[in-house]
Amino acid sequence: MNADPVPLLPRGTRLHHDRVRDTMVLLVPERALLLDEIGTAILQEVDGKSTLAAISARLAERYGAPEPDVAADIRAFLDGLVAQRLVDYQ
């Protein structure tokens, strides 16, 4: 697998603001995943153009955290969604 893939939300996966519960959710086939602040921040950077490294750099800077740690967290989070076919790497 590509070491620095570009993640993208495939058709059928949508980031959505749930106004009733006042939280962000990932709408996917037949389910809704409630997102915490970090999950939301990651998925908002998933634009189908940025590589994982680029996303990691942006979030590390925004949160003032060490980039290797941020990259590892992002990778683990997105790998979990990729395994469920809710996010694609290209």
3-state secondary structure of 27: strand
What is the closest distance, in whole angstroms, from the C-beta atom of residue 78 to another protein in the complex? 13
- Is residue 30 a contact point for another protein (CB under 8 A)? yes
- Is residue 12 a contact point for another protein (CB under 8 A)? yes
Of the candidate residues 2, 11, 36, 90, the single one contacting another protein (CB under 8 A): 11
Do 56 and 73 form a contact (C-beta atoms < 8 A)?
Answer: no
Of the candidate residues 10, 66, 68, 80, the single one contacting another protein (CB under 8 A): 10
Q: Can you name the residues that pair with 30 across neighbouring β-strands? A: none
| Start-end of H helices in the chain | 37-45, 52-63, 67-83
What the block records as the tokens of 39 is 């999950």
Which residue number, 3 or 83, has a Cβ lying nearer to another protein?
A: 83
What is the closest distance, in whole angstroms, from the C-beta atom of residue 79 to another protein in the complex? 10
